[in-house]
Amino acid sequence: MLVTEVNEALPGGSSLLRNEPVQARSSARLTGLLDAAASIIDEIGFERLTTAMVAERAGASIGTVYRYFPDRIAVVEALAVRGAQRFVDRVSVDVSERDITRWADSIDIVIDALVEMYRTEPGFRAIRFGDSETADKALTADTRRPLAEQLTTCLVDRFGIERTADVEFAIEVATETGSALVARAFFSDPAGDARFIDQSRALVSGYLDTALNHAR
């Protein structure tokens, strides 16, 4: 992964990293550290993650880890942000490639992308289910916001829905509730319980249908 790709994976990356990578080799090293951390988290959860484990799994020195991250919480935070950005990128590509004729189609795209992240993005599921000080620090508003932002942008840009405070609030309510149901779908089923996923689609579509019609 090159420098530009690392910057995309960690938006505002320099604020999360002790040292921002300036060469392709440094970027690849950073990516290797995050990939190693993600694989460990998938195996044992992030509460048992240590910087020493990350270094060993990545085949790097502990000094290399500390060059970029002050502690393990910073590693988890970086993974959360990288996952959020990859989710945004996935939705953006899907929206641009698909012929959307109804605003409800955009909801399916967002939920499909979120479901796919749970199924395929290393570390994503474990971090999302965290209930601890580490998770609280890692899952800040900046890492939770992309779901609502992507749906809002899609509805405004593609369907001419006026972006008002009421509309933004309605979309935030819908996405917070819908994403919670998607998270529940993966709580005990790595493939995702289709019942919760289906209800997430129905709930978000029904709520927004009422809220957006009321806002017009």
Distance between first and last Cα of the chain: 45
Distance CA 133, CA 47 (A): 10
| pLDDT tens per residue, range 130-165 | 444 555 555 554 445 667 887 788 788 778 888 899
Going along the chain from its start, the domains and CATH numbers come out as: 3-73 (1.10.10.60), 79-215 (1.10.357.10)
Predicted confidence (pLDDT) at residue 199 exceeds the cutoff of 90? yes
Nearest to 87 by CA among 130, 34, 123: 123
Written as six digits, the tokens of 60 are: 């790097």
Predicted confidence (pLDDT) at residue 21 exceeds the cutoff of 70? no
CA distances from 192 to 135, 162, 195 (A): 21, 34, 9
Distance CA 30, CA 7 (A): 11
| pLDDT tens per residue, range 54-92 | 999 999 999 999 998 999 988 988 888 888 888 888 888
The DSSP call for residue 122 is T
Where on the phi/psi map is residue 69: left (φ > 0), alpha (ψ -120 to 50), or beta?
beta
pLDDT for 23 equals 55
CB 40 within 8 A of CB 79: no
pLDDT for 96 equals 82
Q: What does the pLDDT average to over 34-50?
A: 92
Distance CA 154, CA 2 (A): 29
Q: Which residues of 69-101 are buried (b: 16+ CB within 10 A; e: fewer)?
A: beebbbbbbbbbbbbbbbbbebbeebbeeeebe
Nearest to 148 by CA among 156, 136, 138, 158: 156
Secondary structure (H, E, C), 128-187: HCCCCHHHHHHCCHHHHCHHHHHHHHHHHHHHCCCCCHHHHHHHHHHHHHHHHHHHHHCC
